Structure 1
Amino acid sequence: MNPFISLCMIVKNEEKVIERCLSSITHLVDEVIIVDTGSTDKTKAISEKYTSKIFNFEWVDDFSAARNFAASKASGKWLLVLDADEYVDEENFKGFIQELKEDKGQFDAYTAKILNFTGNFGESLVQNLHDRIYKNTGEILYYRKIHEQFKHVEGKSLNIKNSSLLLFHSGYLNKTVNEKQKSIRNKELLQKEINVGPNKAFDYFNYGNEYASTGDYAKALECYLEAYKGKSDFRLSWVSTTLIQIIVCLMQLKRYNDALSVIKDAESIYDSSAEILFLKGEIFFLRGQLEDAKQAFKKIVNNQPKYNHIILRPDLKDQKPHTRLAEIYLCEENYNDAIFHYTSVLNINKFNNECIKKVIYILSKFHSSEEIAGFLFSKELVNSKNIKNYVRACFEAGNPQLALNLLENFYEENKFLYQIALLKKACITSEENFEYMHDILEYSIVKELIQANWINLIDLFLLREFSEKDNKVLSLIKQFEKEEVFNALINLFKVKVPKDDIEENLFLFSLQTLIDYRKNALCQVLLSKVDYLDKKSVRKAAALLFSKGYKVEALQLYEKTEWSYFNEQDFVNIINSMLQTNNAVNAVEVAKYALSIYNQDFRFYQVILENTQDENLIITTLQKATELFIESSYLRQYNVERSI
């Protein structure tokens, strides 16, 4: 009796990921076929642990040729195609197999939904459907050299259904794309396909993806527009994706009004997709239209059932709008609503590091470690899989006691991390008993901990206080004093420092860390050296202080630099400080100056409109804002109120 389902893979130099793939699925299928197209690493050796059916195939610049060769070696009733950088969820796969067994001959093939982790760390999700499961009758083949699709050998139409199968794909992470130079290879194959293939619109779509992946958004936009112009049917899945990508490219090129025009047309066609509305909100956010942005993002998170169609980015339906709302509320110092939206993200994705850091940072401002730990556990946000993420966030927030409180629930599997937390607490709180930490006070261990970012040079600097009281600490510090960077840090705190010896990045890192550790006296020592920095570095220090809530000190530093070095947020910081002290007149003057440099930032128009008594200035400002920001409910409401 033939196997029910065979797994077919083509691979080359995939030693970093192939075990993850095979270990996730080989026990769930009946046969595993692996075709190697020229590996020079350990790919074959790893594969041999899971199957004996490994075949060589000379690469001929054609993915379909390799996939069809793999299919020819399989004996299963159904064929499943995976890449080495993909993997499955066991429960989802079992459900899919049951779906396949209940097929009753209705369908020739199925698509799988692929969730692609993108960015540096997989912080963004992109989804697409791809032809991956088909009957092994010899009548169905892959065609196209790249971005392969199914076809019947006699040209008959195929009955294809979208399956419930989810495939998780890490091959689009920035590091992987750069290492494998995928874009260069893909463009070469696409050019060959365009020269001979009948579906040029689809080829231009894929060309656009390649240019977008390397940041060439102007070229990408040209390709996407060509693809959209050449579409044969707007219902094809790649067509709606093309529309999303056109909007994204226009945004990247800062052609915001053009993007809004495309969105206006798309909203009526894809009204059940949150992605279109999110991109509108994102444009508002990027242009400083924060009230308009809030409206868009709130509409998404408050109407989840309405938005049941995902075109490309599933995270734009929930995680991203919640994150943006949290960021806006944090800027407004509305901490309760910020926490609500950050924790809403964590209820969806418990590994979102940025949200974890923000939650720990905000809660640490107002609550004890015991209260925070109780809150996190009551919300079921912390578990054995993400505890290290929380511990790292606690360390960065200067709250090692909270890390210890959280680790108590996971102590057995994290004993070493608990010791690190004790060391961190000792450094920050000046606890003197180091005897129970002597095991980790070895130079090689501490060096590794610094490289892994569990502790930092400021921790070591603070540890120096105990050099005369503990020989182990003394020995450790002496070894680090041989290192140039550590000595540069020590010199920062000397009474007299040669001007050329202050390095900007070290200064700013030290200042931020000491602020987080609440080491105010040492912060003052650092700030006494600020005149040794150039004016650009002083501006950065001022912005850092302001972001940490030290507004008076920040304003003092802003006075030491020049407005020509200011970015938009610097002007906003100064304006907000003036408004908080009822200095509306000067706030308007600063906003007018800021607009002469940053005329695309809505916040400056808003400051003028809300705070000036000069009717002529209101009229001219309103006219400019209305011309530039073609869609704004804030401006519409402002005009209504003026007419009453």
Structure 2
Amino acid sequence: MKENKTICLVMIVRNESKVIERCLNCVKDHIDYWVIVDTGSDDNTPELIQNILKDIPGELHHRPWVNFGVNRTESLQLAKGKADYLLLCDADEQIIFSEQFDSSQLTKESYLVQYNGGNTYSVPYLISGKINWKYVGVTHEYLDSDEDYEREKITTISILDLKDGGFKQEKYDRDIKLLEQGLIDEPNNSRYKFYLANSYRDIENYEKAIEWYKKRIEDGGWIEEVTVSYENLGGCYDLLGDTQKALYYWLEGYDYNPKRMECLFNAIRLYRKQKKHRLAYQLCLIALNISYPEKDILFIKSSVYNYLIYYELSLCAYYVQDLKSGYESSKHVLLQEPYNDSIMKTVINNLYFYKEEAKNDKLYNVKELIKVISEFINRNADHEVSHIQTLDYLKSLV
């Protein structure tokens, strides 16, 4: 019988009194030790940590702030050897352990944990406590080691980033300063260019973001980072009102990496908004052949693959009189995302035009649609007449 592996929580914190209790309560039942480094709190964060974790052995250190790479590396050095595995976490995150998590099954040196939110990506948050790890970069740092290690994804742990921690105040200005200095020191650092572009985008300086996304694309290299650069570059032009350039870069991005859907999806949505429904429809058919990028780790927009591309098809299919695709895509959205009422309202409206296709569907699916639409109507007093008409028609088929 395999023994459970011990786990040590490793964090750096500063002024996290508003969120630290929530964070630690999520993990304290799963850890055997903790090493937390405070980098200059002037609130009661250290006292809260010691109180919440008082029943678990651990260490609270105080160190001056340098940058993320230096301070995170120092925390790993302090934690080395304290447990079989190190669990990494930021204070404004929640680590979610599923009931299936079993530490005795851990064998790899590094496990990629999935971030869930508007973007989905994976980060190495569960790592061997025996290896000399280091963080590379002044900010948006990445984990590495000079030693050999194997890495794989883990599905029994996930991360929810609530983006409300104290350490993210004035985050973008700080990151821009760190990244600009980083590029003075390392002018060929493509990662810095990518995250500098992101930081400028996040403060709505789209012209500067465009400049740096183009530089990142010119560098080539990691296909996922270049793909996201195309996606965000098109997005910046779209926000500036230059839809021609937005479409150009989104289509270039799809051509560069046809295994990712996000760029093509953005082009589809823009064409649909421009009432170019036939073109949007044809591109939808291409997009639906793109599988979810299971092996990718950077900024996957899961909602695009799961239901938003079907939402676009449900809007466009009517204009080419592809009623079957219109019905099937509407059904997919309603069953996949039954609590997004703003989208559901539109899709149920559209389903009115496709409803007769339900005659050819399985009875089980029709019953599921009846259930979802009924629940929507019950919780929305402002539902429309067409919603009732569609529901009544579906009920007549049962």
TM exceeding 0.5: yes
Residue by residue, what CA displacement relative to the aligned partner does 1:521-565 show, whole Å, maximum 9, x if unpaired? xxxxxxxxxxxxxxxxxxxxxxxxxxxxxxxxxxxxxxxxxxxxx
TM-score by length of 1: 0.48
Question: Shift of the alpha carbon at 1:206?
Answer: 0.4
* In structure 1, distance between residues paired with 2:227 and 2:78: 36
- Counterpart of 2:36 in structure 1 is 34
TM-score by length of 2: 0.74
SS in 1 for 2:226: helix
User: Which of 231, 249, 263 does residue 244 from structure 1 map onto?
Assistant: 231
Query: Residue 12 of structure 2 contacts residue 39 of structure 2 at CA under 8 Å; is this kept in 1?
Result: yes
- Counterpart of 2:89 in structure 1 is 82
Query: Are 2:381 and 1:395 aligned?
Result: yes
Q: CA RMSD in A?
A: 4.2
* In structure 2, distance between residues paired with 1:288 and 1:177: 44
Question: Shift of the alpha carbon at 1:378?
Answer: 3.3
Evaluate the alpha carbon distance shift between residue 188 and residue 25 of structure 1 in structure 2; reply closer, same or farther with a 3 A threshold: same
Higher RCO (CA 8 Å, separation ≥ 6 residues): 2
Q: Hey, which of these two has a bigger chunk of strand by percent?
A: 2
* In structure 2, distance between residues paired with 1:129 and 1:391: 37
Query: Are 2:236 and 1:230 aligned?
Result: no
Question: Shift of the alpha carbon at 1:296?
Answer: 1.8
- Counterpart of 1:319 in structure 2 is 307
Corresponding pairs, count: 365
Residue by residue, what CA displacement relative to the aligned partner does 1:233-256 show, whole Å, maximum 9, x if unpaired? 344x42332232223223333444
Residue 70 of structure 2 aligns with an amino acid whose one-letter code is A
Residue 72 of structure 2 aligns with an amino acid whose one-letter code is R
Residue 170 of structure 1 aligns with an amino acid whose one-letter code is D
- Counterpart of 2:72 in structure 1 is 67
- Counterpart of 1:187 in structure 2 is 176
* In structure 1, distance between residues paired with 2:20 and 2:167: 19
Query: Residue 37 of structure 2 contacts residue 63 of structure 2 at CA under 8 Å; is this kept in 1?
Result: no
Query: Residue 205 of structure 1 contacts residue 227 of structure 1 at CA under 8 Å; is this kept in 2?
Result: yes
* In structure 1, distance between residues paired with 2:172 and 2:197: 11
- Counterpart of 2:151 in structure 1 is 161
Query: Which blocks of at least 5 consecutive residues in structure 2 are unaligned?
Result: 356-363, 389-398
Q: Which protein has the larger Cα radius of gyration, Structure 1 or Structure 2? A: 1
Question: Shift of the alpha carbon at 1:223?
Answer: 0.7
- Counterpart of 2:276 in structure 1 is 289
Query: Residue 2 of structure 1 contacts residue 77 of structure 1 at CA under 8 Å; is this kept in 2?
Result: no
Question: Shift of the alpha carbon at 1:209?
Answer: 0.6
Query: Residue 77 of structure 2 contacts residue 133 of structure 2 at CA under 8 Å; is this kept in 1?
Result: no
SS in 2 for 1:318: helix
Residue 34 of structure 1 aligns with an amino acid whose one-letter code is I
Residue 82 of structure 1 aligns with an amino acid whose one-letter code is C
Query: Residue 35 of structure 1 contacts residue 70 of structure 1 at CA under 8 Å; is this kept in 2?
Result: yes
* In structure 2, distance between residues paired with 1:323 and 1:15: 41
* In structure 2, distance between residues paired with 1:250 and 1:209: 14
* In structure 2, distance between residues paired with 1:46 and 1:364: 56
* In structure 2, distance between residues paired with 1:11 and 1:377: 51
SS in 2 for 1:89: strand
- Counterpart of 2:12 in structure 1 is 10
Query: Residue 204 of structure 1 contacts residue 224 of structure 1 at CA under 8 Å; is this kept in 2?
Result: yes
* In structure 2, distance between residues paired with 1:196 and 1:177: 29
Evaluate the alpha carbon distance shift between residue 55 and residue 229 of structure 1 in structure 2; reply closer, same or farther with a 3 A threshold: same
Evaluate the alpha carbon distance shift between residue 355 and residue 376 of structure 1 in structure 2; reply closer, same or farther with a 3 A threshold: farther
Query: Which blocks of at least 5 consecutive residues in structure 1 are unaligned?
Result: 118-124, 368-373, 403-644
User: Which of 136, 141, 161 does residue 170 from structure 1 map onto?
Assistant: 161
Query: Residue 350 of structure 1 contacts residue 381 of structure 1 at CA under 8 Å; is this kept in 2?
Result: no
Question: Shift of the alpha carbon at 1:63?
Answer: 1.6
Question: Shift of the alpha carbon at 1:351?
Answer: 3.7
Query: Residue 151 of structure 1 contacts residue 158 of structure 1 at CA under 8 Å; is this kept in 2?
Result: no
Evaluate the alpha carbon distance shift between residue 35 and residue 245 of structure 1 in structure 2; reply closer, same or farther with a 3 A threshold: same
* In structure 2, distance between residues paired with 1:45 and 1:177: 16
Residues 421-432 of structure 1 correspond to what in structure 2 (within 5 A)? none
Question: Shift of the alpha carbon at 1:2?
Answer: 11
Question: Shift of the alpha carbon at 1:281?
Answer: 1.2
Query: Residue 364 of structure 1 contacts residue 397 of structure 1 at CA under 8 Å; is this kept in 2?
Result: no
* In structure 2, distance between residues paired with 1:376 and 1:15: 50
User: Which of 112, 121, 128 does residue 128 from structure 1 map onto?
Assistant: 121
Evaluate the alpha carbon distance shift between residue 300 and residue 279 of structure 1 in structure 2; reply closer, same or farther with a 3 A threshold: same
- Counterpart of 2:202 in structure 1 is 213
Residue 15 of structure 2 aligns with an amino acid whose one-letter code is N
Residue 138 of structure 2 aligns with an amino acid whose one-letter code is K
Query: Residue 8 of structure 1 contacts residue 70 of structure 1 at CA under 8 Å; is this kept in 2?
Result: yes
SS in 2 for 1:83: coil
- Counterpart of 2:342 in structure 1 is 354
* In structure 2, distance between residues paired with 1:133 and 1:217: 36
